A and B are shown apart, each in its own frame.
Chain A
Amino acid sequence: MRKAIPFFFIFFMITSMAISQSEQSQQLFFKGLIDKYEAKTGIRILIHHNDLSSLNKVSEQVNAESILDELVKETQFAYFFVGERYAVVYPKRLRENYIKQQTRPSASKNKQTYKVKGIIRDNEAKTIIPGALFSIPELEIGQQTDSNGEFSLDLQEGTYIAYFSSLGKETDRKIIRVYQNVELDVTLFESTSELEMVTVSDRAIDYNVKSTALGVAKMPIEELRLLPPLLGEVDVIKGMLMLPGVTTVGEGASGFNVRGGGVDQNLILMDGVPVFNPSHMFGFFSIFNQDAIKEAELYKGDIPAKYGGRLSSVLDVSTKQGNAKKWIGEGGIGFLSSRLGINGPISETTQIMATGRFAYPNWIIHRIPNAKLQESSTYFYDVNLRIDQQLNDNNSLSLSLYKSQDYFRFGRDTAFTWQSDLASLKWKSIWGEKVGSDLTLAYSGYKYSVLGEIQPLDFDLTSQIDYFGIHQDFEWIGEKLEGLEFGYQVNHYSMGMGELVPSSETSLAIPQKIPSERAVETGLFVQYPLKIGEKFEAQLGMRYSGFFAMGERDVFLYDENFARDVSRVTDTVSYGAGEVYQRYSGWEPRIAFRYSIGDNSSVKASVNRSIQYLHLLSNNFASAPVDLWKLSDQYVQPQESWQYSVGAYRNFNFDKIETSLEFYYKDFNSLLEYRDGAQLILNPALETSLVMGRGYAYGGEFLIKKKSGKLNGWFSYAYSRTLRIVESQFEDETINQGEYFPANWDQPHDMSLLLNYKPLRKVSFSATFNYRTGRPITLPSSIYDINGSLVVDYQERNQARIPDYHRLDLGVTFDGNQKKDSHYKSSITIAFYNVYARKNPFSWFFQPDLAGAVPRSYRLAVIGTVIPSVTYNFTFR
Chain B
Amino acid sequence: MIKKLTIFLLLIAGIFTNSCIDEVVIEVPGFEPQLVVDGWYGNSIEDTYIRIYYSAEYQSGVVTPQYRQANVNLLYIQDQNGRRINFIPVPNSISFLPENYFDPEPGLSYQLVFQLTNGNSYRSDFEMMPPKVEIEEITESAFEALEVINTPGVSLSQIRTFASINAQISDPGVGEFGYMFSTSGISEDFTFSESDNCSCTCYSFISNIFDKLNLLSNREFQSRSFQHSLGDIPLTSLGRFYVNTRVRTVSKNNLEYLLKIDEQQKNTGSIFDVSPFRIKGNVRNVAENQNSVVLGNFFVFQQSGLEKLVFRTEIRAASLDLNHVFDLPPLVNSSCIEIYPDATPIPPIPFR
Contact = CB atoms under 8 A, between A and B. Distances in A.
Interface of A: 252-254, 282, 335, 364-365, 367-371, 373-375, 456-457, 508-510, 619-624, 626, 676-677, 731-732, 737, 744, 778-787, 789-795, 797, 799-800, 837, 839, 842-848, 850-868
Contacts of B33: 782
A530 B145 CA distance: 71
A746 to B, nearest CB: 14
Contact of B30 (A364, A781, A842, A847): A781
B62 A854 contact: yes
Given A370-B148, A867-B15, A786 B220 contact: no
B277 A778 contact: yes
A783 B25 CA distance: 16
Contact of B267 (A374, A791, A845, A853): A845
Contact of A786 (B56, B146, B155, B297): B297
A794 B276 contact: yes
B26 A371 contact: no
A793 B278 contact: yes
B208 interface: yes
B18 interface: yes
Given A789-B261, A856-B60, 14 more contacts: A364-B9, A367-B13, A369-B17, A510-B219, A626-B272, A782-B34, A782-B57, A787-B299, A791-B279, A793-B278, A842-B269, A861-B20, A864-B18, A864-B19
10 contacts: A252-B270, A367-B12, A677-B280, A731-B291, A794-B278, A845-B267, A854-B59, A856-B60, A861-B22, A862-B20
A851 B212 contact: yes
Contact of A676 (B31, B226, B280, B291): B280
Contact of B20 (A374, A783, A800, A864): A864
B278 A852 contact: no
**Which residue, of B32, B207, B265, B275, has the highest number of chain A Cβ atoms within 10 A?**
B275
A865 B267 CA distance: 23
A855 B56 contact: no
Nearest to B156: A369
A847 B208 CA distance: 17
Indicate the size class of the contact surface on chain B.
35 or more
Contact of A839 (B22, B34, B146, B211): B22
B317 interface: no
Nearest to A450: B272
A864 B40 CA distance: 44
Given A676-B280, A862-B20, A782 B270 contact: no
Given A364-B16, A856-B60, A620 B271 contact: yes
B320 interface: no
Contacts of B211: 850-851
A779 to B, nearest CB: 6
A374 B146 contact: yes
Interface of B: 9, 12-13, 15-26, 28-34, 36, 38, 40, 53, 55-63, 65, 67, 145-148, 155-157, 207-208, 210-213, 219-221, 224, 226-227, 258, 260-261, 264-280, 290-291, 295-297, 299
B31 A781 contact: yes
A852 B207 CA distance: 10
A780 B295 contact: no
A364 B16 CA distance: 8
Contacts of A795: 30
Contacts of A791: 261, 264, 279, 295
A400 to B, nearest CB: 30
A659 B6 CA distance: 49
B241 to A, nearest CB: 18
A851 B265 contact: yes
Contacts of A844: 24, 26, 269
A374 B157 contact: yes
A850 B208 contact: yes
Contact of A843 (B59, B269, B278, B297): B269
A8 to B, nearest CB: 18
Contacts of B295: 784, 791, 793
Most buried by B among A365, A374, A858, A868: A858
Contacts of A853: 61
Given A784-B36, A865-B15, A846 B276 contact: yes
A848 B13 contact: no
Contacts of B260: 677
Contacts of A365: 16
Contact of B221 (A335, A508, A837): A508
**Residue from B157, B280, B297 having most chain A Cβ neighbours under 10 A:** B157
A620 B269 CA distance: 9
Contact of A792 (B9, B21, B58, B208): B58
Contacts of B26: 779, 844, 857
Nearest to B62: A854
B58 A866 contact: no
B157 A371 contact: yes
Given A789-B261, A797-B277, A864-B20, A855 B271 contact: no
Contacts of A620: 271-275
A621 B67 contact: no
Closest 10 CB pairs of A and B: A845-B269, A843-B269, A782-B55, A369-B155, A676-B277, A860-B269, A784-B55, A857-B60, A780-B58, A865-B18
Contacts of B155: 369-370
Given A783-B57, A856-B61, A621 B275 contact: yes
Nearest to B220: A508
